[in-house]
Chain A
Amino acid sequence: SQQGEEDPQALSIQEGENATMNCSYKTSINNLQWYRQNSGRGLVHLILIRSNEREKHSGRLRVTLDTSKKSSSLLITASRAADTASYFCATDAGRGAGNMLTFGGGTRLMVKP
């Protein structure tokens, strides 16, 4: 079952603008990860933030984590048309074997050139 929700479900912006996606989850976690998926393709791992971290950067990506609110955000700055994809958060709650992940509902981002 899904851990939580992502907001918004769909986002359409112009190239150059920033895109912010939010993810909420329900249980305590070890870490939270963000993935990108182009239509009909596999997942690309973007960034992992641990439960004791509050913010992490990677290139044009900025991820925040608020464990008190059980929420995370992904910010993509200076968006490009190539950023058009679906973005998913996934939580590792330490459940089961092998770092089991539970995915959020995803945000479909469209960046218009």
Chain B
Amino acid sequence: GAVVSQHPSWVICKSGTSVKIECRSLDFQATTMFWYRQFPKQSLMLMATSNEGSKATYEQGVEKDKFLINHASLTLSTLTVTSAHPEDSSFYICSASRQEQYFGPGTRLTVT
């Protein structure tokens, strides 16, 4: 149990376009999901905490208007990178919380 999926696993997009990444808890309900970003050879940096039915809480330095988070149900949170630029290229990882955090497999975003 406690499986978290992400879709897509990788995506390439052109600069200026928007990309949506989905995070699903497959076999449990998660009132809280987290979104992380990881640059090459670096650690995971928390971007935002996503709570079902309410606005996400963003970490300092993360632009809420650029990284739109929607937590529409207890099993789905989405992260939309709007007007993507090459510097947004990164590995995006979500996790869902049920007493402890369960991590998705990550989404590799490349912006050309």
Contacts and interface: CB of A to CB of B under 8 A. Distances in A.
Interface of A: 1-2, 33, 35, 40-43, 45, 48, 88, 96-106, 108
Contacts of B42: 105-106
Contacts of B33: 98
Interface stretch (B12-20, B78-86, B95-103): B95-103
A42 B36 CA distance: 11
A33 B99 CA distance: 13
A91 B87 CA distance: 28
B24 to A, nearest CB: 14
13 contacts: A2-B43, A35-B103, A43-B103, A98-B31, A98-B51, A98-B97, A98-B101, A99-B99, A100-B46, A101-B101, A102-B46, A105-B42, A108-B41
Contact of A42 (B99, B100, B104): B104
A102 B101 CA distance: 12
Given A42-B106, A98-B32, A98-B49, A103 B44 contact: yes
B106 A41 contact: yes
B105 A42 contact: yes
A87 B106 CA distance: 16
A97 B49 contact: yes
Nearest to A89: B43
A105 to B, nearest CB: 5
A42 B46 contact: no
A1 B60 contact: yes
A96 B51 CA distance: 11
A105 B43 contact: yes
B106 A88 contact: no
Contacts of A42: 93, 103-106
B28 interface: no
Nearest to B36: A103
